Amino acid sequence: MEATLNKVMRRIVLAGSLIVSACSYAAETHTSGGNFAGNATPTKYVLTISAIEFHKVGDGATVFVPFVDTSAEWDIASANPDANIGTMSSTKSLPAGTYDKIRFTVSKTMTIQGATASLNGGAPCRTESDAQTVTNPFGAGVLDIGYLGARDGAASEPETVTVPSGSDVEASSDFTDLGTSFRGVLTLPNTFTISGTGGLPTIKLKFDVTNAMQFVVLPDQTNRCIVFPGPPSLAVDVT
């Protein structure tokens, strides 16, 4: 029987590429990484981003200036690398100053799609649109909920999942749990300065969804499988 689920990092909310300029754009992703031991690459990975903010040098550590405060959904697994897959127009202007960090808020609920050809016993597992859930699939306190996949070998379907809670969900130091969403903070590789006449540089957050899904066979002898989204890797460019 396969081992139980590897630690699921809360970095799962970081996915897709985000270009921030006069508008904010999403584009697809690049290199894999992190501690999540995924075994499938999703063909769909839809996130809802509801806020983008910047930190100005000299302000308090928790003070961020709003830049975008409207929501947008981006499928960060669907495009070719660097292709735009969505847009968020800026809703606020940044005051003059030098900025060194970006903060964004992402929903814990996302839609993923993918499959693996073989799990325990050689049977496949895939996401399905009408999937059921199972409570405490690995025992009380480990994960509070698991999302079932199908083992029929059919084509995968979009499946909506929410990041579970429990001892096998690790918090990342640069993320804050807001209940139904996460708020992440990233340090920019280069600062940028806003003057009275200057505009924003292009700030692109590049992520990779390679092996950013994990399918696991339940340990209850039912031969059912569950699916979890994993953490794409991240790189930041400022030009």
CA distance 88 to 82: 16
Q: For residue 161, how many other CB atoms are within 10 A of its CB? A: 22
The residue with tokens 């001892």 is 167
Angle at 228 between CA 223 and CA 231, to 5 degrees: 150
Which neighbouring-strand residues pair with 113?
A: 44
Which neighbouring-strand residues pair with 145?
A: 135
**Residue type for position 147:** Y
Find all residues with CB under 8 Å of 71, minimum gap 6, and list them. Answer: 48, 49, 50
**Residue type for position 143:** L
CA dihedral 118, 121, 123, 129 (to 10 degrees): -90
Check residue 221 and give left, alpha or beta (phi > 0: left; psi -120 to 50: alpha).
Answer: left
Contact 40, 11 (CB under 8 A): no
**Residue type for position 25:** Y
Nearest to 177 by CA among 155, 161, 162, 194: 162
Q: What is the DSSP letter of 104?
A: E
Digits of tens for pLDDT over the chain (239 positions)? Answer: 222 333 332 222 333 333 333 333 333 332 233 345 568 899 999 888 888 899 999 999 999 999 888 888 888 886 665 555 556 667 788 889 999 998 989 898 999 999 999 887 688 999 999 989 999 888 888 888 889 999 999 999 999 998 888 877 776 677 888 989 988 888 888 888 888 755 666 767 676 788 888 898 888 878 889 998 877 666 667 77
β-pairing verdict for 17-20 and 203-208: antiparallel
